[in-house]
Structure formats: structure tokens, C-alpha cells
Structure 1
Amino acid sequence: MSSKMIFINLPVADLDRSKNFYEALGWKVNQDFTDENAACIVVDDNICLMLLTRDFFPTFSKRPLGDTVSTIGAAYALALSSAEEVDTLTAAALAAGAIEEVNEDKRAQEAQVGMHGRTFIDPDGHQWEPFWMDYPGH
């Protein structure tokens, strides 16, 4: 059986700042796929981020690049193994320059179904939602 991988392409304003941010979360830079236009960030064996400079990103599409700082086009939910891991990752992100977005209504809904989640916005405006869910068989 073959495994699947996902590569999330993210436009960034300052490639070095973004690499440093994600390294502060404990994720690694794969130098084999990193140059002055892009950096590959390894989240785990099956998830990688491709950080692409705002000048290079448009070479992947004919559609114009949107403003990720003041608008949202996507939210990246990342399932983790514990509520503590969610809090640890979020704390590292905040220490590295992220902004936490708190939605008490969403937190209350999550608590009702046995979830613990947090939301942070990275320095380029990308929204991350690490979460842990207590579900049978997990």
C-alpha cells in the first residue's frame, strides 16, 4: 500500500522569517527543496509546507495572489495527540510571533464534543488550528 503526502503551498513575505517561525515550532527545513524562492518545511513524514516567496508563488497559477494578512482563504487544522500538545504548539507559535485568535463560542462547541483546539495566525496571516479530539478508538 502506498502512503499519501500533502504539500501545502503558502505565500510568504519574508522567507527567512517564515523559516525561522516554523523551525521555532519544532518543524524542520528540508534543504534539498529549499532555495532563495522556496523552503520545504517538514511537519511530519506525510505533511510538508512549501513556503514560497510572494514573487515566486504566482508562477504556480494564473489566478492572482490574494492578501493573506487581512482576509482568510483557508484554515489549516492539524490533529495532535493530546490537549497538552495543542497548547505547547500554540505557545511556541505565540513566542515566535504568531497572534492567537480566541473564539469563545467555538471553544464551547468543541468542549461539548470532547475537543480541545486553539487558533493562531502566523506572521504571514495563515490561520492554523491545532486540535485534539477524544474519540473512540483513538
Structure 2
Amino acid sequence: MSSASKVIYLNLPVVSVSASTAFYSAIGFTQNHTFSDATAACMTISPTINVMLLEHDKFQSFVPKSKTMADAKSSAQMLICISMDSRDEVDAILENAGKAGGKKDSSPPQDHGMMYSRNFEDLDGHVWEVVWMDPNFAPHDAPDAKSED
């Protein structure tokens, strides 16, 4: 593989591209209009991470015919985790998600001192974990990767 940065596109089925675009804009993602239309919206999280919001029919057109699309409101196929630079940023994205119609803290928040996380569900039930980790944390009991037992 080349050393150039790879770009990730997470593809999520949504009931309404316009409603989901408004939700993700409210929590701080930016719409990339080049890759958006009436049935899909590209929302940028960072220079290398994007979320493609695809209306159900469009999403299904990318899935093998032998598979059905999961209903994120009743089942979980994956958890999406994003990191933030501070605890305050974790709390802010959760507050914005709640104000925009998402479900805050669908699982209990986790506070381990050196790591803090909360989660939300978007309008379609997709679960996002938002985490902050202390960059100065170095586990004292972690084995040295170079040592051999």
C-alpha cells in the first residue's frame, strides 16, 4: 500500500437524506456537496473520514442481492466510534445530538479517568460512541512490545 492517507467512507442507510443531513450538520459534520444529491449526502468528519447518508433504495443498490438491510432501530450491526480532543467536546457533540433529535446516552456513559465516552443514536438508530482518551496516559502494567518472555 502507498503511504498516502486513505479516505474512509462509512455508508449508512437513512429514511430521509434531508433530515439526516440537518442532524449531522447540527453535530458538527460538514456536507460535501460534490458527493451529494437528492438520494445521498456526503458528510465530512475529518479530511480522511466521511459518512455517506444513503436513502434506503440507494443503499440497497450497493448491497448484494442475497442480503437485507438491517434496521438500526431494532438491531445493531456495528458501533461507530469517533475520538474527540477533550471531555468538553464529547459532551458538546452529545448535547448537539440530543437537540437535533438524536437519543443521548443510549448506554451509560463511561468514565475511567484516562478515558471518557458517551454515545448517541442518530435519527435512524445508528449508534455512535464519542470518546476522549488522555494523551498522557501510559499504562504501567503494559508489556513492552519488544520484550520476549
Question: Which TM-score applies when normalising by structure 1?
Answer: 0.90
The aligned counterpart of 2:128 is 128
SS in 1 for 2:37: coil
Is 1:43 matched with 2:38?
A: no
Q: CA RMSD in A?
A: 1.7
The amino acid across from 1:128 in the alignment is: W
Task: State the distance in 2 between where 1:137 and 1:3 align.
Answer: 26
Task: State the distance in 2 between where 1:121 and 1:41 align.
Answer: 16
The aligned counterpart of 1:65 is 69
The aligned counterpart of 2:35 is 33
Displaced runs of 4 or more, over 4 A:
none
Question: Which TM-score applies when normalising by structure 2?
Answer: 0.84
Task: State the distance in 2 between where 1:103 and 1:17 align.
Answer: 24
5+ residue gaps, structure 1, are none
Task: State the distance in 1 between where 2:116 and 2:80 align.
Answer: 15
5+ residue gaps, structure 2, are 139-149
More helix by proportion, 1 or 2? Answer: 1
Percent identical across equivalent pairs?
34
The aligned counterpart of 2:79 is 75
Instruction: Give the length in aligned residue pairs.
Output: 134
Larger relative contact order (CA 8 Å, sep ≥ 6): 1
Deviation digits for residues 88-127 of structure 1, max 9, x if unmatched? 11111111011123544x62xx415x11110100010000
